[in-house]
């Protein structure tokens, strides 16, 4: 079980940060990712579950999705250490989530 490192309460959401909570493959090495869960209060059930990581010197945000076990070749997206995959998100959504992430005093990937 992941240990939450910090929680922010914004006017419209609660944001939970888990430092170093995930690892995604990147060639022979893995990239350690922070996990951020944004729970929006106004919309019941609206939740962003993302990972923040650095690739090629740039901070990135990816959406966590559950992956079903299938026989055959692995999915195209990068997998984490569980039954999850990291999917790209739109540039606008990535900027929005990085702005929220930057509100945390302690985070792995600073600007």
Q: What is the DSSP string of 16-35?
A: EEEEEEEEEEETTEEEEEEE
pTM over 0.85: no
% of the chain exceeding 70 in pLDDT: 77
Helix, strand, coil abundance in the chain, percent, nearest 5: 10, 50, 40
Helices assigned H by DSSP within the chain: 91-101
pLDDT, position 58 = 92
Instruction: Flag whether pLDDT at 19 surpasses 70.
Output: yes
Range with the lowest mean pLDDT among 15-19, 37-41, 65-69? 65-69
Average of pLDDT values for 84-103? Answer: 91
Instruction: Flag whether pLDDT at 77 surpasses 60.
Output: no
Q: Are 5 and 19 in contact (CB under 8 A)?
A: yes
């Amino acid at each position: 079980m992941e240990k939450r490192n910090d929680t922010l309460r914004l006017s419209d959401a609660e944001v939970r940060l888990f430092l170093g909570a995930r690892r995604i493959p990147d060639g022979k090495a893995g990239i350690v990712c922070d996990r951020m869960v944004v729970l929006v209060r106004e919309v019941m059930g609206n939740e962003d579950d993302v990972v923040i990581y650095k690739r090629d010197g740039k901070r990135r945000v990816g959406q966590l999705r559950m992956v079903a076990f299938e026989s055959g070749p692995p999915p195209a997206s990068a997998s984490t250490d569980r039954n999850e995959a990291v999917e790209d998100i739109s540039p606008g959504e990535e900027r929005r989530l990085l702005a929220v992430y930057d509100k945390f005093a302690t985070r792995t990937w600073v600007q």
